[in-house]
Amino acid sequence: MSDIDPRAIVSPSARLGKCVKVAACAVVGEDVELGDGCVLEPHAVVKGPSTFGRNNHFHSFCIVGGDPQDYTYTGQPVRLEAGEGNEFREFCTVHRGTLKGDGTTRMGSNSLIMAYAHIGHDCNIGNNVTLINGAQLAGHSRVEDYATLSSFVLVHQFTRIGAYSYIGAGTIITQDVPPFSLIVSSRETRCYGVNRVGMERRGFSPERIKQIEQAFRFLLRSKLNTSQALEKMRGTLSDSEDVSSLIRFIESTTERGLTK
């Protein structure tokens, strides 16, 4: 017996398995088939035509099975097909296929689609795939089993992501990713100086800012290493509480290191 909150919206054409839970304000659209044990949290939206296996979990404000974002789509009965045990977190989006892509977006089982991630039309997602927050798959992408896409990874359409690969945060993928590989964009993050405008807006005096700027010159512009720069700050700027705070922060930096 399913548990349908009276405030939920369930289409008459939807087909629900055993022990399905649909919470308040959730929507189950036309021609949606939910397997046994599926759960829709409040405000989750599942649209069809789409088919889901058992124990899929749709969190609040996800939209799964939405219309494809494609200019050629004009209402054709395209589909989404998903396996079992997938987790669709808040605000993620998964779109149905288009006729150009045989009409179907496909997902396997036991994948985790985190908040704000997107799976475009006609994608083919394997089993045990992880899309971390904000990862974006353009249409016709293929992601093989156990691949992980970290935060804000962007994948170009028709690209393949190989099995067991890991793509680091913020990486833009325009070519196929080999199975078993570790992929990341080059990281050139560096410190360019102090946030003078921000400090002025917060009422820092010119003298306070001058002392902080001097500390950063020791840290970034001199030929001193970090330890030597800290000693120089202590020797010449010890009366500045701001600089003392900077020193304490640098000394407590973890094994991740300091951006310089």
Domains of the chain by start residue, with CATH: 3-183 (2.160.10.10), 196-251 (1.20.1180.10)
Cα(62)–Cα(116) distance, integer angstroms: 8
3-state secondary structure of 88: strand
Cα(114)–Cα(135) distance, integer angstroms: 8
Tell me what pLDDT residue 259 has: 86
CA angle 104, 46, 85 (to 5 degrees): 80
One digit per residue, pLDDT tens: the chain, 260 residues? 789 999 999 999 999 999 999 999 999 999 999 999 999 999 999 999 999 999 999 999 999 999 999 999 999 999 999 999 999 999 999 999 999 988 999 999 999 999 999 999 999 999 999 999 999 999 999 999 999 999 999 999 999 999 999 999 999 999 999 999 999 988 788 888 889 999 999 999 999 999 999 999 999 888 889 999 999 999 999 889 999 999 999 998 877 788 88
Cα(130)–Cα(151) distance, integer angstroms: 10
Burial pattern 140-173, b for ≥16 Cβ within 10 A else e, equals bbbbbbbbbbbbbbbbeeebbbbbebbbebebeb
Evaluated on CA atoms 118, 7, 41, 48, the torsion sign reads negative
Instruction: Look up the pTM and report it.
Output: 0.86
3-state secondary structure of 171: coil
Half-sphere exposure (Cβ direction) of 60: Cα atoms closer than 13 Å: 4
Cα(64)–Cα(137) distance, integer angstroms: 14
Active site residues: 121-122, 139
Token couple for 91: 């605000």
